[in-house]
Amino acid sequence: MSTLATTLKRGLAVGAVALAAVSLQPAGASASPTPVVGGTRAAQGEFPFMVRLSMGCGGALYTQQIVLTAAHCVNGSGNNTSITATAGVVDLQSSSAIKVKSTKVLQAPGYNGQGKDWALIKLAKPINLPTLKIADTKAYDSGTFTVAGWGAAREGGAQQRYLLKATVPFVSDAACQAAYGDSLVPSDEICAGYDQGGTDTCQGDSGGPMFRRDDTNAWIQVGIVSWGEGCARAGYPGVYSEVSTFAADIRNAAAGL
């Protein structure tokens, strides 16, 4: 993070000079390329449960045949063969990518654009890769989280070919509400990010997991990438669906899919 913050500050300083001369240059256009915002490349196999969805979202293998993603990434519930899940690779263009079509989608019941931002996608066949377990208590809703995705590496930036990862600290509901007011649903959202910004998920990371190590040192999913004001802005943490709130609903929905 400190490396990234330094890089961004340097980038912004250069940008400020450039802006003085070329006032229409988009913010961040001159920032040095940093290999999510402020992330670095994930190693092949590091997060084997990561899935890229063809509508431009992320997801995680909840079971080998069910992907957990965000409700805002799908259009509703029912039979749906239009989505392709790509797994098993950090490089989306790799010839070893595993690609499987969807058969069904289940969008969180009652989803109306605020909160309840989770959905399940059933795949045509199982993918033989490790799954990511979900947190079913609030015990892990604190500390430092890992996020990963193929989304934009800066606000307004392009989708990525290679999976990026970053770590972000937990932000309390009170601090997150101070940023977002009534837009936040504290009972079912969890926030993460640095006060100074610089590291965050961004457009195209939605639906992907936010996770950490549990007491047995296994990865456990505590969040689903949902929304934020821009990306990596100071004072505006990333907002994630709080998986522990929905764990029972997710489990029941998966059992019936």
Which positions are catalytic? 72, 117, 206
Of 11 and 151, which has the nearer Cβ to ligand ARG? 151
Among 34, 131, 201, 241, binds ligand ARG (CB under 6 A): 201
N residues, the chain: 257
Q: Does 189 bind ligand ARG (CB under 6 A)?
A: no
Answer for the pair 151, 203: CB distance below 8 angstroms, yes or no. Answer: yes
Q: Structure tokens of 255?
A: 């059992």
Q: Which stretch binds ligand ARG (CB under 6 A): 13-21, 46-54, 77-85, 199-207?
A: 199-207
- Interaction with ligand ARG in 115-134: which residues (CB under 6 A)? none
Q: Hey, what are 222's tokens?
A: 């505590």
Q: Is the dihedral angle over the CA atoms 250, 257, 149, 165 positive or is it negative?
A: positive
Which secondary structure element, helix H or strand E, spans residue 174, and what is its range? helix 173-180
Complex with ligand ARG: residue 113 or 256, whichever CB lies closer: 113
Q: Which is nearer to ligand ARG, 220 or 239 (CB)?
A: 239
Q: Does 202 bind ligand ARG (CB under 6 A)?
A: yes
CB of 82 to ligand ARG, least distance (A): 18
Shortest distance in whole angstroms from residue 21 CB to ligand ARG: 30
Contact of 222 with 238, CB cutoff 8 Å: no
- 211 contributes a contact to ligand ARG by CB under 6 A: no
Binding mask 62-81 toward ligand ARG (x if CB under 6 A, else -) reads --------------------
Phi-psi region of 81 (alpha: psi -120 to 50; beta: other; left: phi over 0): alpha
Return the closest-CA partner of residue 209 out of 176, 255, 241.
241
Residue 61's identity, in one-letter code, is L
> 3-state DSSP call for residue 176?
helix
Stretch that binds ligand ARG, among 7-15, 23-31, 128-136, 223-231 (CB under 6 A): 223-231
How far apart CA 114 and CA 104 sit, in angstroms, is 23
Residues that bind ligand ARG (CB under 6 A): 151, 200-206, 225, 227-228, 231, 238
